[in-house]
Amino acid sequence: MAMARSYTVKAIWDADASVWVADSDIEGLHIEAPTIDEFEAVLHEVAAEIVAADHVTDADLDRFAARDLIPAIIFVRPEREAA
């Protein structure tokens, strides 16, 4: 039986700090970046590793094939850049 895992990441503009911040169901994911492109680059660099470290258990590794543990990480890019 496959184990469907998907996580969503949204970039939210923090006007006070002038950075994009992550709003996500990936426990432990914290991103702050001055541009949306930098935000997305960091997301692609770290998100899968954080999911593997924090959301995959030893029991999952015993029960499921590796391909079934690869998460779908859905990035909801903002409709427009911050002003």
**What CATH number does residue 23 fall under?**
3.30.2390.10
Single out the residue of 15, 67, 13 nearest to residue 36, CA to CA: 13
Question: Which residues 6+ apart lie within 8 Å of 50 measured at CB?
Answer: 26, 27, 28, 29
φ, ψ for residue 44 (rounded to 5)?
A: -65, -30
Choose between 60 and 17: higher pLDDT: 17
Let me know if residue 55 belongs to a domain: yes
Let me know if residue 81 belongs to a domain: no
Given a contact cutoff of 8 angstroms between Cβ atoms, the answer to whether 72 and 5 are in contact is: yes
Let me know if residue 41 belongs to a domain: yes
Let me know if residue 58 belongs to a domain: yes
Let me know if residue 83 belongs to a domain: no
Looking at the chain, list the stretches that DSSP marks H as alpha helix, in order from N- to C-terminal side: 36-55, 58-63, 66-69
Let me know if residue 16 belongs to a domain: yes
Let me know if residue 63 belongs to a domain: yes
Q: With a cut of 60, say whether residue 13 has pLDDT above it.
A: yes
pTM of structure: 0.77
* 19-41 pLDDT, tens digit each: 999 999 999 999 999 999 999 99
* 71-80 pLDDT, tens digit each: 889 999 898 7
Domain count, the chain: 1
Place of tokens 């930098």: 38
Q: What is the CA radius of gyration of the chain?
A: 15
